[in-house]
Amino acid sequence: MSTIRRFSVKSLTRVEGEGSLRVRVVDGAIEIAEFSIYEPPRFFERLVRGREVREVPDIVARICGICPVAYQVTACEALEKTLGIAVTPDIRRLRRLLYCGEWIQSHALHVHLLHAPDFLGAESGFTLAATHPDLVNRGLRLKSIGTRMMEVIGGRAVHPINVTVGGFYRSPAAADIRGLLPDLEWGLAASLEMITEVSRFDFPGMPHDYDCVSLRPAAGYPVDEGRIVSSRGLDVDVADYERHFAERQVPWSTALHSLTVPDERPYLVGPLARVNLCHDRLPPLARRAAESCGLEFPLRLSAQSIVARAIEIAAAFEEAVGIAREAVAEIAPCRIDYDLRPGVGCHATEAPRGLLYHRYEIGDDGLIAHANIVPPTSQNQAQIEADLKAILPTALVLDDAAATHACERLIRDYDPCISCATHFLRLAIER
């Protein structure tokens, strides 16, 4: 007689959005390890169809309240390519500063309030505040600086209103950007220290040779542009994304997984993938801090993503300090005009959680005819499940509560943004 053991985490906590985990073990063999999504889909790719080009950045922002800038900037760049226009270096720098703000607030939230409790034995940032007040307060301050950057440049932190196809509705005042400098300099110093601190955490789990995938630009650390590179030697233009990666259905799950094609393997996107592929591109202070901790790349434990995030917070601050120091005047023009014309264009950027790909088609009527959006969490889903299957034999020695805790921790390492992915993933229904 076979014995079937089931356990599930009905509601994953300390992740953005709501998801669950289901594991079924039959006679000791793992049959299902499914990181599933119970958030209902919102059909964003359909929602933008028939809308005006200028409405797209505002609509796609609503995919995610935590990384709206990633969606806005990717959409703008993709639509600018479709329209055959290029923005000025000033506009590009301002977008990059805005994007740095989003990285800082998103990473600072995850590192201090969502992830650190796992390493320090707390159930949340609220309880951590009692035992490690300095750490939590630093996290809250770092996050508030990122938020402030988004407000100064984007007009609002959650769903900025100043980002548009062609640039910005209005240039922020140079004095306001330079006014950020004292906080940015403090943030840089604090985040450099943080790298040392989190690199001393104890990292559980099994090392993996991840197939890391990220952008790699001609110069600098990947944020808003670059070619797509991987640990296995891929090096292609973003226009070829859909030839090398595809969303697939697996027999035991109704969740879509992004896999590499043609070899159909999971891959890793996000902070860990970026530092592994582009640590040579980190700005000098962040790179030196990472090196002085004795980190050896590639980092091979998913839990070390907290170190990758800390490094990236420092890198974002370092870059932001450089951009803010150079802000001497309002940028003019702050927006490049365009004529509507039919066409197709795509772009990818590095959202806080990893590579984000958008493709749009503008129809003869000048409205959006088609959209394809692949968020980072749906790309990581296959890798998360592969990692779960790898740790389950060890975890299953534990009782259900401890085993689910271990699995939940692993999922949290990825900082999955279920709100983003949900709109593109199938719901998992057992039939």
Residues that bind other proteins in the complex, under the rule CB under 8 A:
11-18, 39-43, 45-47, 49, 51-52, 55, 58-59, 62-66, 68, 109, 113-114, 117, 123-127, 129, 136-137, 140-141, 143-144, 147, 155-159, 161-162, 164, 169-170, 249, 254, 419, 423-424, 426-427, 429
Q: How far is the CB of 163 from other proteins (least distance, A)?
A: 10
Which residue, 151 or 197, is less far from other proteins as judged by CB?
151
Lookup result for tokens 């989190």: 198
CB of 256 to other proteins, least distance (A): 8
Name the one residue in this structure whose structure tokens are 């998992």. 428
The number of angstroms, rounded, from the C-alpha of 219 to the middle of its chain's C-alpha atoms is 21
DSSP-derived secondary structure letter, 171:
P
Let me know: does 209 contact 201? Beta carbons within 8 Å. Answer: no
Tell me whether residue 40 or residue 294 sits nearer to other proteins (CB atom).
40
For other proteins, the closer of residues 225 and 385 by Cβ is 385
Q: Are 254 and 428 in contact (CB under 8 A)?
A: yes
For other proteins, the closer CB: 43 or 232: 43
Closer residue to other proteins, CB minimum distance, 71 or 203? 71
Min dist. Cβ of residue 403 to other proteins (A): 15
Q: How far is the CB of 74 from other proteins (least distance, A)?
A: 16
Residue 159 or 358 with smaller CB distance to other proteins: 159
Cα–Cα distance for residue pair 392/375, rounded to 1 Å: 27
Please report how close the Cβ of residue 162 comes to other proteins at its closest, in angstroms.
5
Q: What's the burial of 430, exposed, middle or buried (CB within 10 Å: 0-12/13-18/19+)?
A: exposed
Note whether 104 and 143 are within 8 A (CB).
yes
**Cα–Cα distance for residue pair 419/378, rounded to 1 Å:** 11
- Are the beta carbons of 276 and 298 closer than 8 angstroms? yes
**Rounded (10°) CA dihedral 148, 154, 158, 159:** 180
Query: Taking the complex as a whole, how short is the minimal distance between the CB of residue 417 and other proteins, in angstroms?
Result: 8
* C-alpha to C-alpha distance for 96 and 324, rounded to whole angstroms: 11
| Least distance between other proteins and beta carbon 351 (Å) | 14
Q: How many CB atoms lie within 10 A of CB 345?
A: 18
Q: Name the 3-class secondary structure at 117.
A: helix
Closer of 315 and 373 to other proteins (Cβ): 373
Nearest-approach distance from CB 51 to other proteins, in angstroms: 6
22 touches 8 (CB < 8 A): yes
Can the peptide bond before residue 57 be classed as cis, meaning omega within 30 degrees of 0?
A: no
Rank residues 8 and 127 by Cβ distance to other proteins and give the closer one.
127
Nearer to other proteins, 30 or 59 (CB): 59
Q: What three-state secondary structure class fits 242?
A: helix
User: Tokens 């000048």 map to which residue?
Assistant: 366
The closest alpha carbon to 250, from 417, 32, 424, 44, belongs to 32
Nearest distance, CB of residue 296 and other proteins, angstroms: 32
Residue 427's nearest CA partner among 253, 169, 170 is: 253
Nearer to other proteins, 167 or 226 (CB): 167
- The Cα 41–Cα 198 span in angstroms is 36
The least CB distance from residue 159 to other proteins, in Å, is 6
